[in-house]
Amino acid sequence: MPFSHHSHSGQFCPGHAKNSLEEIIQTAIARNMQLFCLSEHMLRLKEDFYPDEVPHVFLRHQESQWEADYIQIETSTEEGLRENEAMYFLEALRLRKKYAGQIKIVIGLEIDWIRPSSFDLIQRSLTIFPFEFFVGSVHHVHTIPIDYDSPMYIQARDAAGGTDERLFEDYFDIQYEMLTQLKPPVVGHFDLIRLKSDDPNRCLKSLPGVWERIQRNLGFVAGYGGMIELNSAALRKGLSEPYPKAEICEEFLTLNGRFCLSDDSHGVDQVASNYHLVLNFVEFIGISTLHYLDLSTDSDVSEVLDDRFPRTQTRSISLSEVKQLPFWLTKE
């Protein structure tokens, strides 16, 4: 449980998140976390930013020191966005070296599947820089953000036909497109579409078209060995269960699916938030094993995560072992 596979900082996602990347990592160390995966958003053109994101990065390098300072990046061009990604990758490497021995850090991206042309942007991100994993996410349906606020959710719902059920079906179809095209090592907030809906805690089995799509997507993830994150952000946003909700987790368990844990933090106050509640949820569902990422050593014989990430390994830990870790001695 003292792992997270999904995180953001205000340094590289200004406005939408807060605090520097180093402050986030320092907080994870203070909370006895063992593994913290970095997954800043992949490059997106300015028109796909959330309304509260700003076109800056919070980093400047001077005389071998990294100083906090706003510098303007032209986010309407791919060249400018690549500069932001490069700065993120270099800073992540610096922090991993600085805090080696205190916490394990794996460097990746959260990709955003918005439209079919997203594939080319994602592939370039994953090949230009030697990232070590990625979180595959869908935040948009009909190119409209579905998790930002209610007006945008309603706009997406209207575009889908006017009902939550139709929007859910479209969301899981878009997710399936993302899954089949990319086979993400970690699938982000699987049922994020619930967040702004009229009844976010409703039983999804009561919607046959939605449930069929969920089963299809889960079967595909299980088939290629991907991990679905148990994402605690749903709890701090007022939902009764993490992403994904219990019935989805139970279905994935029948497929011998792999679960990992994420806080989806957007600032120091959200690092490892609600993990104690997630532990209760995991026990209730009957999940007895969790999986997590690690980087290989020369003598390592663990399972390689993906041919695209030859140094990245998947490991497993029993829930009974997790409960004995020092993390639980810290208070949230």
For tokens 């041919």, the residue is 307
Model pLDDT, residue 125? 85
- Within a domain: 259: yes
- Within a domain: 211: yes
List, for residues 127-173, the tens digit of each pLDDT value.
Answer: 888 899 999 999 999 999 999 999 999 999 999 999 999 999 999 99
Print the domain residue range for 303.
3-326
Residue 101 DSSP code: T
pTM (2 decimals)?
0.90
User: How would you class 106 by CB atoms within 10 Å of its CB: exposed for 0-12, middle for 13-18, buried for 19 or more?
Assistant: buried
Cβ-Cβ contacts under 8 Å for 170 (sequence gap 6 or more): 141, 142, 160
Is the alpha carbon torsion for 256, 272, 16, 234 positive or negative? Answer: positive
pLDDT band, residue 59 (cuts 50/70/90): very low
Model pLDDT, residue 46? 72
Overall residue count recorded for the chain in this entry: 332
Q: Rounded to whole angstroms, how far apart are CA atoms 300 and 94?
A: 24
- Within a domain: 282: yes
- Within a domain: 89: yes
Per-residue tokens: 262: 């994420």
List, for residues 61-109, the tens digit of each pLDDT value.
Answer: 333 333 333 333 344 455 555 677 888 899 999 999 999 999 999 999 9
- Within a domain: 332: no
Tell me which amino acid residue 69 is. D
Residue 224 has pLDDT above 70, yes or no: yes
Percent helix, strand, coil in the chain (nearest 5)? 40, 25, 35
Model pLDDT, residue 79? 57
**Other residues' Cβ atoms within 10 Å of the Cβ of residue 299:** 5
Is the alpha carbon torsion for 161, 166, 168, 169 positive or negative? Answer: negative
Per-residue tokens: 317: 């830990």
- Within a domain: 79: yes
- Within a domain: 331: no
Residue 293: its H or E element: strand 289-295
Please count the structural domains in the chain. 1
> Do the Cβ atoms of 194 and 239 come closer than 8 Å?
yes
Model pLDDT, residue 65? 39
E-state strands within the chain: 3-4, 35-41, 56-62, 65-72, 104-112, 133-137, 140-141, 144-145, 186-187, 227-231, 258-262, 289-295, 303-306, 309-318
- Within a domain: 188: yes
Q: What CATH number has the domain bearing residue 76? A: 3.20.20.140
